[in-house]
Amino acid sequence: MKKLILLFFVFFSVTIFAQDTEYSIVVKDIETQLPIQNATVVIMKTKQILISNQEGKVTFIVNGASNVQVSETNYEDVTIRWAALKENEFVVYLKNKDNKLDEIVVSTEAPQKILQKIVSNSMKNLAMPYRLKVYVREFFMLDNKYSYYNDGLVNFQFAVNQKKVSTTLLVEQNRSYGLLETDVSADLKGYNLNDIMENYTNLKYFEPLLDPKAKKEYDFIIRGHATNKDYYVMTVTPLNKSKETVDNFEIIYDPEKKLIFEFSINVLPGTIAETVDKTAIGSKNITRSVIKVNYRLDGLDYYVLSSNEEIAYDLILKDQVKNIQVRNNFITTNFNKQKFTYNDSDVFKDKTLFNKQNKILTNYWNISGFTATEEEKGLINALEFKM
């Protein structure tokens, strides 16, 4: 009888152990104690990828034991052993890399030529068949009020044709909340997801800088990365801000591997102030524009890791001006070289998640790779209540 009871408890313990368990990790700077945003957290068992939010937080579910890797460009990598993890909020402290060598890099090769090489090599490495599972989310504001929200768990199948990448999009789950006026702007119907991913992969944003004439329109400067000795930082700024060329670029890259790991494009407030507002009906006067894209190299696999795009503009209508703001995030949660098996009817051809009928099978947003902050949760709940 005692043996039966012992076997029961062993079986019960194994059953409990095998159940999915939710964990939360908060990533912080060991010196400042401040949360670190955009740190990459990889669950080694499942290869799931997570990105820390503004609170430095990620949430994930794992069945059984798994070590966890935490990394960020400016910090030393950390591997957390599974035995140290706790089900409640677990704080991981990262140590800043002590490089401090952000002086200008002198090279016999022109910076524009260097940019051409790293863009070309990055595109070559990105151009291969694979699939990404991506969590997409979009916030929309109309006249400084949050008006709409959507998110979804989607799959991109990548194919290469004549060195250009194209994507096929399949939506696993999605949700949309809020109400919008139908005649405000097509931009408020969300981004074309295929276009965005293809632009990130084909590096279309760099085309203006690769034109031979760009040497007369932009200033190219290369510096050592302030905290990472393996990276260089190239800044590209317009020489004549009165022209249409107003985007400011920052590109973080590995000079040895000739791969881009991060780039950002923004229009500085001072530059916006110098531009002349358009007055024609339907015109858009930009008040804010930010793009930031990160890439990941895992062995030989190189792919888009995450992105953030924010745009704000005043839309000129017949009898009024409306301010529109859109914020879009892509977070890769899984990379796989295995192709999809799907029917043509499964392909999502509408391109944008706006007004797509909600398809919610699980609480995918809680373990999507990007945990909402408490403030964001409040906004999403309020928009859901509007419906």
- Domain assignment present for residue 269? The answer is yes
Cα distance between residue 128 and residue 101, in whole Å: 35
- Strands of the chain, DSSP E: 20-29, 40-43, 48-51, 57-63, 68-72, 75-80, 89-94, 130-142, 145-161, 164-178, 218-224, 232-238, 248-254, 259-266, 284-298, 301-316, 321-336
Residues 261 and 315 in one domain: yes
Residues 252 and 352 in one domain: yes
- Domain assignment present for residue 129? The answer is yes
- The enclosing domain of 87 has a CATH number of 2.60.40.1120
Q: Which pLDDT belongs to residue 332?
A: 96
Q: Which pLDDT belongs to residue 270?
A: 56
Q: Which pLDDT belongs to residue 158?
A: 95
- Domain assignment present for residue 326? The answer is yes
Residue 3 has pLDDT above 60, yes or no: no
Q: Which pLDDT belongs to residue 227?
A: 84
Q: Which pLDDT belongs to residue 9?
A: 41
Helix (H, G, I), strand (E, B) or coil at 320: coil
- For 22-66, the pLDDT digits (tens) are 888 999 999 999 999 999 999 988 889 999 999 999 988 877 788
Q: What is the mean pLDDT of residues 244-263?
A: 90
Which amino acid type is present at position 65?
A
Residues 87 and 115 in one domain: no
Which burial class, exposed, middle or buried, applies to 67 when counting CB atoms under 10 A from its CB (0-12, 13-18, 19+)? middle
- Domain assignment present for residue 105? The answer is no
Residue 337 has pLDDT above 50, yes or no: yes
- Domain assignment present for residue 103? The answer is no
Residues 59 and 130 in one domain: no
Query: Measured between alpha carbons, how far is residue 247 from residues 26, 113, 150, 240 in Å?
Result: 34, 19, 28, 11
Residues 132 and 259 in one domain: yes
**Domain span at residue 38?**
17-94
Cα distance between residue 260 and residue 293, in whole Å: 10
Residues 228 and 127 in one domain: yes
Q: What is the mean pLDDT of residues 69-79?
A: 91
Residues 209 and 319 in one domain: yes
What average pLDDT does the chain have? Answer: 85
Cα distance between residue 55 and residue 223, in whole Å: 30
Cα distance between residue 307 and residue 144, in whole Å: 23
Boundary residue ending a domain (59, 94, 129) = 94
Q: Which pLDDT belongs to residue 244?
A: 58
Boundary residue ending a domain (67, 94, 121) = 94
* Residue with the larger pLDDT of the pair 321 and 297: 297
Q: Which pLDDT belongs to residue 12?
A: 40
Residues 89 and 168 in one domain: no
| CB neighbourhood size of 286 (10 A) | 16
- Strands of 38-129, DSSP E: 40-43, 48-51, 57-63, 68-72, 75-80, 89-94
The one-character DSSP state at 232 is E
Query: Measured between alpha carbons, how far is residue 258 from residues 212, 230, 261, 284 in Å?
Result: 20, 11, 10, 37
What is the tally of structural domains in the chain?
2
- Domain assignment present for residue 242? The answer is yes
- For 97-152, the pLDDT digits (tens) are 765 556 777 677 899 999 999 999 999 999 999 999 999 999 988 888 888 899 99
Q: Which pLDDT belongs to residue 98?
A: 67
Helix (H, G, I), strand (E, B) or coil at 2: helix
Residues 32 and 149 in one domain: no
Boundary residue ending a domain (65, 94, 123) = 94
Residue 242 has pLDDT above 70, yes or no: no
Cα distance between residue 158 and residue 304, in whole Å: 12
- For 195-225, the pLDDT digits (tens) are 999 999 999 999 999 998 888 889 999 998 8
CB 371 within 8 A of CB 58: yes
CB 189 within 8 A of CB 352: yes
- Domain assignment present for residue 106? The answer is no
Residues 160 and 252 in one domain: yes
Residues 69 and 150 in one domain: no
Query: Measured between alpha carbons, how far is residue 16 from residues 12, 189, 318 in Å?
Result: 6, 45, 64
Q: What ranges in the chain are assigned the alpha helix state H?
A: 2-18, 111-126, 193-202, 207-210, 269-274, 374-386
Residues 222 and 80 in one domain: no
- Domain assignment present for residue 40? The answer is yes
pTM (2 decimals)? Answer: 0.87
Cα distance between residue 193 and residue 166, in whole Å: 12
